[in-house]
Amino acid sequence: MTRWTVHPARRRPMAALGAVAFVALASVLAAHALGPGSGFYAWIFAVLLIGSLTPFFFPTTYVIDDSGVTVQHLGTTRRREWKAIRRIDVGPARVVLSPFPAPRTLDRFRAVVVMLQGAPSEAREELAARAAALRSGGLPDGPPRDRASP
């Protein structure tokens, strides 16, 4: 079992400060644009913006074991078994584990993204080996198909 934690805001404090400044400025501009009495909506806007940036601001823990990958973030756990993964796209900074054999729009919702920042070498090697094994297994490399072909 291999386990590591990624916390981008801790590694890049100036970027975190910039993100907080952007959220504050955007919220103030939204309150100003909405007019008097819109402070409540400005706070809602700020909370939504911060919520969309939680992978950056809060740590995410990844666990790779013999049966699959587990991602833990803000009290939630997402698990993907190796047998459910049909495509592994290995990049320099992240790995996408998808249940689809070819890239699809639904990857955004169904795929698990594993950030490699601070990952131990055995995690990188395991993911690369599984990607190579999956490719050699004869999965189709056809074009993305989200709709039925005519």
CA distances for 131 relative to 78, 89, 104, angstroms: 20, 7, 18
Q: Same domain for 36 and 69?
A: no
Quick check: 139 and 87 in contact, CB under 8 A? yes
Nearest to 147 by CA among 104, 108, 109: 104
Q: Same domain for 92 and 130?
A: yes
149 within domain boundaries: no
pLDDT band at residue 141, thresholds of 50, 70 and 90? very low
Whether the per-residue pLDDT at 99 is higher than 70: the answer is: yes
Q: Same domain for 73 and 47?
A: no
Reduced to 3 states, what is the DSSP secondary structure of residue 146? coil
Percent of the chain clearing pLDDT 70 (strictly above): 91
Q: Same domain for 51 and 76?
A: no
> What pLDDT score does 30 carry?
86
Q: Same domain for 50 and 63?
A: no
Q: Same domain for 20 and 40?
A: yes
**CA-CA distance, 90 to 97, in Å (whole number)?**
9
pLDDT band at residue 37, thresholds of 50, 70 and 90? confident
> What pLDDT score does 136 carry?
84
Number of domains in the chain: 2
pLDDT band at residue 145, thresholds of 50, 70 and 90? very low
Q: Same domain for 132 and 107?
A: yes
Rounded to an integer, what is the distance from CA 7 to the centroid of its chain? 12
150 within domain boundaries: no
Rounded to an integer, what is the distance from CA 132 to the centroid of its chain? 22
**The CATH number of the domain where 76 resides is what?**
2.30.29
Task: Give the DSSP letter of residue 65.
Answer: -
- Identify the bridge partners of residue 80 per DSSP, sorted by sequence position: 69
Which structural domain range is residue 100 located in? 59-136
- Sign, CA dihedral 44-5-76-124, equals positive
CA distances for 60 relative to 9, 25, 57, 74, 100, angstroms: 11, 27, 10, 8, 24
104 within domain boundaries: yes
> What pLDDT score does 142 carry?
44
Q: Same domain for 67 and 130?
A: yes
146 within domain boundaries: no
* pLDDT tens column, 12-25: 999 999 999 999 99
Q: Same domain for 69 and 121?
A: yes
Higher pLDDT, 38 or 140: 38
Higher pLDDT, 147 or 112: 112
**What's phi and psi for 124, nearest 5 deg?**
-60, -45
Task: Give the list of residues 6+ apart from residue 122 with CB closer than 8 angstroms, or none.
Answer: 2
Q: Please provide the average confidence, as pLDDT, over all residues in the chain.
A: 87
Token code pair at residue 3 = 């386990």
* pLDDT tens column, 38-74: 888 888 989 999 999 999 999 999 999 989 999 999 9
Q: Same domain for 32 and 70?
A: no
pLDDT band at residue 138, thresholds of 50, 70 and 90? low
144 within domain boundaries: no
